[in-house]
């Protein structure tokens, strides 16, 4: 359906329901007009009455919707670019509400905000093309729905990639713990050679050499310490931590466990 409203340079982006075909889909909110995307009218008001009311109001006639092939492509590209650059915002929103949101695969987290931000930016004095401020045309809601669907797919792609990385980290963590349980103590730094404790010093063929702070340290105690630290970290973060050796000539070397994802670290040895 198409709606023609009076002319003005600044206009508010209509809200588009994620599922326009649904029976109870939210109604599209336009200045002065409330029309379901399916072509019906607001409760108790016919389409003709709503349109007549919008044309009678001088204030509402200041609004207009603009639609043309050049505008559509510019708006589309800017929305997609903003979504790509908003990966962290999408994932933060997903972490906050995604796990507790029923049917989260059908919901969006940032699509409406991205479209509104780019709509406002496109109409700004600095960026608004001259012809955009002068056009007084009809806008087909299918144009916005098409762009919205592309953004939904891009957002879901970001979330899907993130979920796959979590699954990979979980598998890596499981493999690491399984190897430690089934084999001699694997060096957490190189994950290739076995750790040995010789003369109170923890050593590895990769070059790791850390003086023990305890004279009775054994491989079993070191294994328990490593496994306990990893399990404690995995209780609040799904990412696999990294291990490194810190310390210089004046200080004794230490085995450090850190995680960039949750910004935590702990001294293991």
* CA 112 from centre of chain: 14
Helix ranges (DSSP H) in the chain: 47-56, 69-84, 87-93, 111-122, 130-134, 141-182, 219-234
Structure tokens at 225: 């310490």
Average pLDDT, the chain: 70
pLDDT digits (tens, 9 = 90+) for 175-224: 777 766 666 788 888 888 888 888 888 998 888 888 877 777 888 888 88
Q: What is the DSSP string of 236-255?
A: T--SPPEEEEE--SSS--EE
- Model confidence at 99, pLDDT cuts 50, 70, 90, reads low
Residues near 151 by beta carbon (within 8 Å), at least 6 away in sequence: 79, 80, 83, 108, 111, 114, 115
3 state SS of 89:
helix
pLDDT level of residue 58 (50, 70, 90 thresholds): very low
Q: What is the pTM of this model?
A: 0.43
Residues β-bridged to residue 201? 198, 211
Q: Between 183 and 247, whose confidence is greater?
A: 247
pLDDT at 53: 47
Q: What is the mean pLDDT of the segment spanning 228-251? A: 82
* pLDDT reading at 114 higher than 70: yes
pLDDT at 83 over 60: yes
- At 159-177, the pLDDT tens digits run 889 888 888 888 887 877 7
Q: Are 2 and 138 in contact (CB under 8 A)?
A: yes
Rounded Cα gap, residues 137 and 68, in angstroms: 8
Tell which wins on pLDDT, 254 or 176.
254
Calpha distance 210→223 (Å, rounded): 15
Work out the pLDDT band at 227, boundaries 50, 70, 90. confident
Is the pLDDT confidence value at 36 over 50? no
Sorted by sequence, the CB contacts under 8 Å of residue 237 that are 6+ apart come out as 259, 261, 262, 264
């Amino acid at each position: 359906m198409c709606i023609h409203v009076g002319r003005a340079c600044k206009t508010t982006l209509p809200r588009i329901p994620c599922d326009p075909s649904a029976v109870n889909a939210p109604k599209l909110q336009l200045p002065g007009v409330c029309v379901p995307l399916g072509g019906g009218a607001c409760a108790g008001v016919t389409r003709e009455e709503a349109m007549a009311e919008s044309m009678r109001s001088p204030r509402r006639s200041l609004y207009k919707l603009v639609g043309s092939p050049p505008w559509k492509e510019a708006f589309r590209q800017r929305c997609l670019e903003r979504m790509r650059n908003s990966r962290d915002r999408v994932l933060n929103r997903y972490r906050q509400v995604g796990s507790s949101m029923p049917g989260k695969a059908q919901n969006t987290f940032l699509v409406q905000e991205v479209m509104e931000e780019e709509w406002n930016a496109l109409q700004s004095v600095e960026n608004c093309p001259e012809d955009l401020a002068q056009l007084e045309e009809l806008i087909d809601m299918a144009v916005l729905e098409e762009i919205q669907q592309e953004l939904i797919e891009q957002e879901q792609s970001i979330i899907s990639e993130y979920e796959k990385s979590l699954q990979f980290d979980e598998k890596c963590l499981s493999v690491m713990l399984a190897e430690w349980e089934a084999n001699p103590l694997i060096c957490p730094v190189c994950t290739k050679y076995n750790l040995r404790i010789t003369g109170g010093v923890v050593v590895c063929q990769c070059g790791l050499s850390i003086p023990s702070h305890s004279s009775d340290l054994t491989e079993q105690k070191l294994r328990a310490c490593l496994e306990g630290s990893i399990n404690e970290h995995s209780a609040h973060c799904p990412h696999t931590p990294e291990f490194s050796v810190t310390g210089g000539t004046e200080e004794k070397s230490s085995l450090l466990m850190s995680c960039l994802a949750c910004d935590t670290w702990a001294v293991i040895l």
